[in-house]
Structure 1
Amino acid sequence: MTSSLLGLSIALIYLLGIVSAIMALMSSRTSQGAVAWIISLLTFPYVAVPAYWLFGRPRFYGYVSARGARDSVLRQVLSRYRDNVMPHLAQPGSAEIQAVEQLAMMPLTQGNQAALLIDGEATFASLFAGLAEAQEYILLQFFIIRDDALGRKLQGHLIKAAQRGVRVYFLYDEIGSHALGEGYLRDLEEGGVEVSAFRSSRGFRHRFQLNFRNHRKVAVVDGKKGWVGGLNVGVEYLGQSPRHGAWRDTHLVLEGPSVLGLQEAFWEDWHWATGEVISLGWLPHATSAADHRVVIVPSGPADEQDTASLLVQNLIHSAHERLWLTSPYFVPDQGVQDALRLAAMRGVDVRVMMPERPDHLLVFLSAFAFLPDMLRAGVKIYRYLPGFLHQKIILIDGSAASVGTVNLDNRSFRLNFEITAFVPSVEFATEVSNMLEEDFTRCREVTLEELRQQPLWKKVISRAAYLTSPIQ
C-alpha cells in the first residue's frame, strides 16, 4: 500500500511537471526562458514544479483588471488629465521619439525643467526640501526603504507634512523592503501618513505572483514637482556602507507637465495596492525656468509589450554618433545585445559602464559569457572603480538622454515595474554627457585579452550563470 502510494505520488509529480512544461511553452515571454523552464520541469520536477508556480508567471495578472467597477472612474480622470495637457504637447520631431510615446502610452510634453541630482546627498537634499514645501499632497514610492538614519529622516519629514494637513501616501515594495519593521510603519500611520505595501501576490487569485517587484522610485509634491531615478532610501545610498563603499547614483527632479506622468504611474500602483482611487490635482504647471521636452515611460509585467526592452532597443537604434549606457546589472536580452553590436558596427561610439565590484554575484558572472562578443563587435566596456555603480542612464548622441530605474537585465525588462524619464533635449543631454565623461575617468576599460585569459572554471561558471538569466 505504501509503495503504491509512493508510486502514485511520483507519477503525479511528473504529470504536474509535464503540464507545467506545456504552460511554460505556451506562455513564457522569451524562448530562452521557455527552454530553461521546460528542461527544469521535465528533469527535476520535485524542485522545478513548486518553483515554477511561485516564480514562473510570465505576466502580472490583475493589475488592470483590479480596476473592476472603478474602471470608468479611472478612465474619466485620465481623460480629463489628458485634455488638460493638450496645450503643453510637444511635437516628437522624429519617428524614434514617436515610438517612445507609443511605448509609454503617455505624451511628450514641453514646458518642463529636468535637473540632474548626482549621488545621494544632492538627491535627498532636494527631495527633503520639496517635502517641506508641500501644501496639498505627497506621493512617495521606493523599492527599498530602510529603518536607518536616512529612513528615519524621511519618516520625520512625512509625519511633519501630515501634521500640517498635507495628505501623504507612502508606498513600498513588500519584497524590496522586507526588512522594514512594523514599528517604522506604525509610527508613520500614527503620524497621519497613508501607508501601503505593493503586494504582487495580493488576493487569492494572484497568490502565486511572487516573482514580480515594484522597482519604481517616485516622489511627487502637489502635482508640480517630481523625482525619479536610481536611489532608494538607506544609508548605503549615501556611501556609508562598508560593503559597497562610495555609491554612484543619479536621480532627476522634474517640474512641469511631465510630473503628471509620474503621478499617474503612482496613482495606478496605489490603486492596485489598496483598491482606492485617490483624489489628486491634474492641472499641468508649465515652468518658465527651462523648456525641456519630457515623456515619462512606465513599464512592467502587466504591459502587452515588453516595454522596457523595446524602449532600450529603440534608443540604441536611434543613435548615430554616440551611445553611452550605465547599468549596475548588465545582462540584456538578445535583442538589446544585437542592437548594441550593430550600433558599434555602423560606427557609433558605444560605451557600457558597469560596476567593478559585484552586488548580485549570479548577475555579475552572467555578463562574462557574452562580453567577448560585445568587444569583438566594437562595443567598449568600462568598469567603475571607486565604489558601487547603481545609476541607470542612457545618452543618445548629444540630443537626448534618459534617467530612470531600469537595469539592463531580464528582471527589469519583464518582471519589475519600472519607470523612465526620457528627455530629448540638447541642453539636458550636454549635462548628462559632462557627468558621464567625469565618471569614465574613474573607470578602467575591459579588454578582450583580459577575458580570454580567465581560467576555465570561471568561464564555465559564467556560461552556467548566463543560462539562468531568462528566469533570474
Structure 2
Amino acid sequence: MDFLGPHVFGYLILLVHSLGLVAAVHAVLTVRTAQGSIAWAMSLFFIPYLTLIPYLIFGRSTFDDYIRARRDANQEMREAIIDLNWRPWVEEALSARKSAAYTSLRAMPRLGRMPCLANNSVRLLINGTATFDAIFSAIRDAKEVVLVQFFIIHDDELGMKLHALLMEKAAQGVAVHLLYDSIGSHSLPNAYAETLRAGGVQAQAFATRGGWISRFQVNFRNHRKVVVVDGIKGFVGGHNVGDEYLGAKPPLSPWRDTHVEVSGPVVACLQESFAEDWFWAARKLPPLILPQSYPEGGVLCQFLASGPADPYETCSLFFVEAIHAANERVWITTPYFVPDEAVFSALRLAVLRGVDVRILIPSRPDHKIVYAASSLYAFEAVRAGVKIFRYQPGFLHQKVVLIDNEISAIGSANMDNRSFRLNFEVMLLTVDDAFATEVEHMLLDDFALAKEITEADIKATHRLQQLAMRVARLVSPVL
C-alpha cells in the first residue's frame, strides 16, 4: 500500500479543513470581541494550515478549567473556615456606602467580587528599594503564615535574598507558600523551587494545565503580585522579583515602579485571591488567617481581582468605570498603552467633559512591538485632547490610576488587551483624600521628569515608523 499516495494527502487536507471549520465555529461562539471572532474564523476557514496551532495556543479567551477549580476552591474554603468569621464585610461594607466619592463608582460594588471595606491603613511604596525593604521586613517578622505570589522571579541577587529568607522562615516553623507564573518565570531554574521545597517551603508554578486543551494554552498568565504576612499585612503593586526592579540592570534603569502596603479587613480579600490561585496550582487551600479586630477609621479599600475566569471583562470595565467617574482629573501611568475601544472612548468623553486627562508612558521600550503600538495609540490620544507624557529617566513600569481628589488604584494591571482579557490581575482601589494626595505628589514628581508628546512630535515621525506602528497595532490583541 502506498502510504504517501495522493489519496492520503487528500484525506489529510480534508481533515485539516474539517478541523479548521470546527475551530472557526468555536471561535464564532466563544471569542469575546467581534473583531477577534471574525479574524480567527476567516483565517481558520481559509488557511487552517497556518492558523490551527496558533488558535489552539492563543485563541481561547475564557479559562474554563480555572473556573471549575475556582468553584471547588470556594466550596472547600466555605467548609474549611466554617467556624472562622471570614469575610469581615458587613459592618465595613456598610461604612463604605457613606462615602460620596465611592458612590461615584456606581458599578464597582458589583464589578468586583469583593466589596469596598473600611478601617484599613495603606502605605505608598515608591520604587523597588522601599518595596522590598518593606516586604522582607514583614516576612522576617512573620509568626504563622507567609503567602508570596509574583509573575516573575529571577535567581539573581534579589531572587536569592527572597529564597534565603523564605528558607529561614520555613525552618522557624512558619507556613511559607510561594506561587510564581510558569511563563513569566520561564528562566527560573528548577533548582530554585526544588531547594525551597526541600527546606519546607510550599512552592508551586501557576501553569495553564488541566484539561487537554488547556495544556496547550500560554495566553492565560498569572500577572498578579500579592504578598500576605500572618493575615495582617498585604502588599500589591507592579514589582516582580529581579534586580532590574531595583534599577540594577541597564539599559532600562533606573526602573520606576510602585507598590502599596495595606493592613485591615481588605487583607482577607488578598488572601482569598491567593487561595484561589494556589488551589488551581496545588489542588488544596493554603492556611488562612483572619485577625478579629481592626482599628476604627482609616481608608476605604476595594481589592479587585480580574482574569479570564471572570464572567465579563472585569479589568477593562474597571478602567471604563474609573474614567467615567472622573469630574476633575484622571491621571494614569502604564508601561503599555494599548487601550480597547471602550477605554479609548471613555478617555475621549472625559476630555469632552473638561476633565484633566493625563497618561504617563515610558520613553524607552522593553518590548519593541508593544512600544510601537503604544506610540500609535498615544498619537491618536493626543489628537483627541489627552495629554500624553513620556517618562525620561528610565523604564516606567508602574500601574497607577488617580481619580479626582480621593480615589486611587495601584496594582498589576496594564492598559492593554492582555491585562483586560487574558491575564490574571489585581488592583487595590483606595478612597481617601490624604492617600490620594500622596499619590498626587508622587505623580507630579514623575510628570516633572517627563516630556509631553505634541503635534510637532507626531508630524516629525517618519512615514515608515508610522507604518511600523500600524502593523504593530494589528497584533495588539495578543500583545
State the TM-score, normalized to the length of structure 1.
0.96
> Which residue of structure 2 lines up, in the alignment, with residue 16 of structure 1?
19
| Stretch moving more, 59-68 or 88-97 | 88-97
CA gap of 1:262–1:68, structure 2 versus 1, over 3 A, is closer
- The CA deviation string for residues 304-336 of structure 1, in whole angstroms up to 9 with x for no partner, is 010000001000000011110000011011000
| Deviation for aligned residue 1:71 | 5.0
Match of 2:50 in 1: 47
Which of 100, 105, 108 lines up with 2:116 in the alignment? 108
Query: 1:227 is matched with which residue?
Result: 235
Q: Which residue of 1 aligns with 2:346?
A: 339
Which shifted more, 439-448 or 4-13? Answer: 4-13
Q: Tell me whether 1:396 sits opposite 2:403 in the alignment.
A: yes
Q: How does 1:17-416 map to 2 (within 5 A)?
A: 17-66=20-69, 72-76=75-79, 81-82=85-86, 84-89=88-93, 90-92=95-97, 93=99, 94-204=102-212, 206-283=214-291, 285-287=293-295, 291-416=298-423
- The one-letter code of the counterpart of 1:202 is G
Contact 1:14 1:45 in 2 (8 A): yes
- Give the distance between the partners of 2:195 and 2:386, measured in 1 at CA: 50
Larger displacement relative to structure 2 (321-330 or 195-204): 195-204
2:54 aligned counterpart, secondary structure: helix
Cα drift, residue 69 of structure 1: 6.0
Answer whether contact 1:40 1:48 (CA < 8 A) is retained: yes
Pick which of 157-166 and 101-110 moved more: 101-110
Give deviations 1:262-294, integer Å, cap 9, x for gaps.
111001110111110233113355246x60110
Residues 67/447 of structure 1: CA separation in 2 closer, same or farther (3 Å cut): closer
After TM superposition, what 4+ stretches of structure 1 lie above 4 angstroms from structure 2? 67-71, 76-83
In structure 2, the CA distance between the partners of 1:286 and 1:318, relative to structure 1 (3 Å rule), is same
Alpha-carbon contact 2:148-2:179 (below 8 Å) kept: yes
Measured in 1, the distance between the counterparts of 2:377 and 2:233 equals 41
What is the rounded CA distance, in whole Å, between the counterparts of 2:70 and 2:467 in structure 1?
47
CA separation of 1:24/1:87 partners in 2, compared to 1, >3 Å: closer, same or farther? same
Secondary structure, aligned partner of 2:234: strand
Indicate the percent of aligned positions where both proteins have the same amino acid. Answer: 44
Structure 1 residue aligned with 2:469: 462
Cα pair 2:392 2:451 within 8 Å, conserved: yes
Equivalent pair of 2:337/2:377 in contact (CA under 8 Å): no
| Maintained 8 Å contact 1:368/1:451 | no
Provide the rounded CA distance (Å) in 2 between the counterparts of 1:29 and 1:335. Answer: 14
8 Å contact from structure 1 (residues 351, 382) kept in 2:
yes
Letter of the structure 2 residue corresponding to residue 102 of structure 1: R
Offset at 1:73? 2.7
Specify which of 414, 419, 426 is matched with residue 419 of structure 1. 426
1:332 & 1:364 partners in 2: Cα distance?
13
Q: Quick one: structure 1 residues 107 and 471, their matched pair in 2 at CA, closer, same or farther if it must change by over 3 Å?
A: same
Secondary structure of the structure 2 residue equivalent to 1:331: coil
Q: 1:12 Cα shift? A: 2.4
Distance 1:266 1:82 in 2: 15
Matches of 1:22 and 1:108, distance apart in 2: 40
Residue 211 of structure 1: CA displacement? 1.1
Deviations 1:161-185 (A, max 9, x none): 1111110001010000011111111
Matches of 2:245 and 2:235, distance apart in 1: 16
In structure 2, the gaps of 5 or more residues are: none
The answer on whether the counterparts of 1:32 and 1:470 sit within 8 Å (CA) in structure 2 is: no
Distance in 2 (alpha carbons) for counterparts of 1:471 and 1:148: 29
Secondary structure, in 3 states, of the residue corresponding to 1:138?
A: strand
Give the aligned CA root-mean-square deviation in angstroms: 1.8
Shift of 1:39: 3.7
User: How many residues end up aligned between the 2 structures?
Assistant: 471
1:81 CA displacement: 4.5
